[in-house]
Amino acid sequence: MLPYPILPLEKAKWKGTPLPIAYTTNTYYNITVDRTETGFQMNMVLTDTSSSPITHTAEEYDFPDKLYEDYRPDSRAFGMMDDDGNLIAAIEFEPEEWSNRLRVHELWISDRYHRMGIGRALMDLAKEEARRAGNRMLILETQSCNTNAIGFYLHEGFTLIGFDTCCYANNDLARREVRIELGWEVH
């Protein structure tokens, strides 16, 4: 049972609300791309980095994640508030009409509320929206070093559909932070 109900987050009230997305990990997916005579060889291998943990905080980015960004005009967000009205979880998604997919832009749960089924409930809401809208895929982006998130998405039935080795900076491979695209086929 969820600790609080999931409610729509009205754009007028929640637009620009920052999401304090942060994590530390002792693992990452090491991605290598090698050109061969007949094409390319890509490997993505879970790698231990406990001697040098990877930490990312909302403060390190010039543009922290926020709800209802201007470049996402058709997005919808849902969330959960505690008894004091503080946002403790949120999901935001938007249709990609040109590809008939629904893209999850944001998924955040406050650390205190992890492992309570909130992430699954929010993802179920997005899956149901994709079904209702007749989308063919539910897609999202995460990073090769956000292995907890990747594990959650894999558990939710997502699979790797692509990656971008220079999305965040020209040295994403060296930084161990490669954009990973995951997708869930709507059925």
Q: How confident is the model at residue 118 (pLDDT cuts 50, 70, 90)?
A: very high
State residue 63's pLDDT score: 64
Q: Which amino acid is at 11?
A: K
Average pLDDT on 156-161 reads: 98
Pull the structure tokens for residue 104. Answer: 């999850």
State residue 56's pLDDT score: 85
Dihedrals phi, psi of 96, to nearest 5 degrees: -105, 90
Q: Check residues 162 and 62 and name the one with the higher pLDDT.
A: 162
Find the range with the poorest average confidence among 23-32, 50-59, 104-113: 50-59
Cα(161)–Cα(87) distance, integer angstroms: 31
Determine the 3-state secondary structure of 174 from DSSP: helix
State residue 62's pLDDT score: 61
Q: What percent of the chain has pLDDT over 70?
A: 98
Average pLDDT on 165-172 reads: 90
State residue 61's pLDDT score: 65
Task: Please check whether residue 178 is in contact with residue 172, taking contact to mean a CB–CB distance below 8 angstroms.
Answer: yes
Residues 6+ apart with CB under 8 A from 176: 28, 30, 49, 54, 144, 145
Q: How confident is the model at residue 64 (pLDDT cuts 50, 70, 90)?
A: confident
* Residue of 128, 149, 129 lying closest to 140 (CA atoms): 149
Which superfamily does 7-185 belong to?
A: Gcn5-related N-acetyltransferase (GNAT) (3.40.630.30)
Dihedrals phi, psi of 166, to nearest 5 degrees: -140, 35
The residue ranges of every structural domain in the chain are 7-185
